[in-house]
Amino acid sequence: MPQIPIIMPQLGESIAEATIISLLIKIGDEVAADQDVIEVETNKATMNVSSPCPGRVQKITAKLNESYPVGAVLGYLEVSVEETKRLGLDQPEPENAPAETNVGNGHKSEPDKKRGVEPTVRGLPVPAHAAGASYMSPRMKARMNELGLHAADLAGIAGSGAAGRVTIQDFEKFISNLEKHKLTNASSMRVAVADAMRRSWARPLATVALPCGLDTLMAHRKASIAKAGPALYALRALALALAENSAPAGRLVGNKIVHPPAIDIGFAVEAEDGVLVPVLRGADIKPLAELVARYNELVELARQRKLPTDATGGSIATVTNFGTFGLTWATPIPLPEQTLVLGMGAGKKVPSWDEKKAQFVPVTEANLTLSFDHRVLDGGGAGRLLARVAALLQTPEKL
């Protein structure tokens, strides 16, 4: 009977590869169309590969814990002649898988051979080469490319060359010394976070801060049926502030400011060995009470690393509640495709002067921080945006 391949699909924008973590079928199993057959892991989530049509599993070429690029053959299904015609496959696969399989656009891949690919961040491919060192010889660049290193990795090397340049001898000594230390492989998520932050830091970033009273917010939360967390209050306030004026969330590209098409706000969720940023679409349109269920759902999915594609990427700003770690002040870094990140610190009881009582009274207060791309926004604009967010948080019933 004819055979058709099970192909590693494009699992998201700019996702170049995925790692096999579980085989959900075995040779000889009968599968239905669109049945989940293989579980894979990308930099940001775990997903399933489904069967292209009904058939019987004839061969599995994918191996557990191996990474395969998009378009790679993961196995073969034995199918009917009618199915091959329906799928437009005039030439059935031979019983023994060929060394090369056409995967589209005229390119061929070897299904059983692992190809090198660049690490990616969903929605933002990591550049193949990174600038950072003041000067690197061609020989140094070639050696770094061979080892998969970036200029930022040279930060711990003291250069002995002219004007403090790092020589190839310095580099090789550094690499040799590393072998004397305990080494562990960084997870795909940790590599993705590192590359995203390296890209973000290529811009001039600044942070402004403002103390914000939380007593009104906490009273509103206590009285609400659908109880939002402090980060969701802050997210909704930021969304309304940007709906009034979205220019602060614009991105500078060349000599143009690219304004955001929608107020889609992300929020940071700590996951195993990294941070994920689910996105609430149209956060300025839905009231706070309607956002609670979706927010809680996305938090759980992020912790399981099972975020749906429509809940990742494309956000114009991020909200992070670093107060959950007991921190009162921090300077979060915006994602590479964003200009803004709003942070919220831990609430603390502090004395505040009451004019009517002519005395200090205890209030709960937290620091709000706004980190921003200084090329797009200046301190004044950032301060006004942060003040507007703080003001909106004083009327939580309007959120």
- Concatenated DSSP letters of 231-243: HHHHHHHHHHHHH
Type and span of the H or E element at 102: strand 101-102
**pLDDT score, position 190:** 77
Question: What is the per-residue pLDDT for 112?
Answer: 43
- Predicted local confidence at residue 102, as pLDDT: 42
CATH entry 3.40.50.970 includes domain 203-398 = no
Alpha carbon distance 144, 151 (integer Å): 8
pTM of the shown model? 0.63
Tokens (6 digits) for 223: 């009285």
The whole-number pLDDT of residue 193 equals: 79
pLDDT of residue 124: 33
What pLDDT shows up at residue 132? 35
| pLDDT < 50 regions, the chain | 91-134
Where in the chain are all domains bearing CATH 3.30.559.10?
A: 203-398
Considering the chain, tell me which residue range(s) the CATH 2.40.50.100 domain(s) occupy: 3-117
Query: Under a CB-based contact definition with an 8 Å cutoff, are residues 169 and 176 in contact?
Result: no
Name the CATH code of domain 3-117 (choices 2.40.50.140, 3.40.50.300, 3.30.930.10, 2.40.50.100): 2.40.50.100
- Please give the pLDDT value at position 83: 76
CA 122, CA 267: separation in Å to the nearest integer?
Answer: 15
Q: Which two tokens stand for residue 367?
A: 């620091």
What local confidence, expressed as pLDDT, does residue 155 receive?
67
Amino acid 71: pLDDT: 85
Half-sphere exposure of 21 (CA within 13 A, CB side): 12
